């Protein structure tokens, strides 16, 4: 059994999978746990990094780190300073006194300002009908192995929709082969995320997919 810290997680998704696998897993965030678990620490994760953890998995907020938001740094006063603060937070997580560490975030400035990521993963390689390219920075942990591939639907430039196998076997009768793009259930036909604007959109998009959480517990919990 390992003592596991899931930092910056209020959903409990990763914590639950590690506890199912028999580990003493705790989530920590500055907001309460969505599942009301007693195994959640409502605090700044930086204050508990020096406890005796065997494994730390961290999900720092990506608002000021991801490539999709960095273009605002030169337009909105204060955003650049928030990016610098977010990078300091990431450095402290990666340098925590924990033997095994994994940190996840979208593609952004962590790779250029701190160090390149070790792996990128997609939920569709872990049994989830979804696309969300995610980077992992690893310390004394192996890359996650894929568990189950979920085929996409294929959307042609003319608007026709095919199954993955149909498009690759026959192609589009009007446009020919190779003109279709893969799309998963969380994407529109044009490739955008289906989640519309809302107060919870950021939190909803940040949740770890259960298939990935199960792979973390099964592979990194050994």
Per-residue DSSP letter, 161: E
Long-range contacts of residues 202-205, Cβ cutoff 8 Å, at least 24 apart: 202/63, 203/10, 205/132
- pLDDT value for 222: 87
Q: How far apart are CA 26 and CA 200, in angstroms?
A: 23
123: its two tokens? 């939920």
- pLDDT value for 99: 98
Q: What is the pLDDT along the chain (222 residues), one digit of tens a residue?
A: 899 999 999 999 999 999 999 999 999 999 999 999 999 999 999 999 999 999 999 999 998 889 887 877 877 888 889 999 999 999 999 999 999 999 999 999 999 999 999 999 999 999 999 999 999 999 999 999 999 999 999 999 999 999 999 888 888 988 988 899 999 999 999 999 988 776 666 677 789 999 999 999 999 998
The owner of tokens 């939190």 is 203
Residue spans per domain, the chain = 3-149+195-220
Give Cα separations from 66 to 63, 86, 92, 96 (angstroms).
Answer: 6, 11, 18, 22
- pLDDT value for 198: 64
| Rg of the chain (C-alpha set) | 19
24: its two tokens? 């003493």
Per CATH, which fold does 3-149+195-220 belong to? Answer: Rossmann fold (3.40.50)
- pLDDT value for 213: 98
Q: How far apart are CA 117 and CA 135, in angstroms?
A: 6
């Amino acid at each position: 059994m390992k003592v596991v810290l899931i930092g910056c997680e209020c959903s409990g998704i990763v914590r639950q999978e590690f506890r199912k696998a028999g580990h003493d897993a705790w989530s920590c965030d500055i907001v309460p746990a969505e599942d009301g678990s007693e195994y959640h620490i409502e605090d700044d994760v930086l204050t508990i990094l020096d406890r005796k953890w065997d494994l730390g998995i961290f999900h720092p907020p990506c608002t000021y780190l991801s490539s999709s938001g960095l273009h605002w740094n030169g337009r909105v006063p204060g955003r650049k300073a928030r990016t610098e603060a977010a990078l300091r937070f990431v450095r402290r997580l990666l340098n925590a006194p924990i033997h095994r560490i994994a940190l996840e975030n979208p593609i952004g400035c962590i790779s250029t300002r701190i160090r390149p990521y070790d792996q990128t993963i997609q939920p569709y390689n872990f049994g989830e009908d979804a696309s969300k390219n995610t980077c992992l920075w690893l310390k004394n942990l192996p890359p996650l192995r894929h568990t189950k591939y979920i085929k996409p639907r294929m959307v042609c430039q003319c608007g026709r929709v095919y199954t993955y196998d149909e498009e690759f076997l026959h192609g589009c009768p009007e446009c020919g082969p190779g003109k279709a793009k893969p799309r998963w259930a969380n994407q529109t036909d044009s490739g955008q995320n289906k989640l519309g604007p809302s107060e919870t959109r950021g939190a909803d998009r940040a949740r770890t997919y259960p298939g990935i959480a199960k792979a973390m517990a099964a592979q990194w919990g050994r």
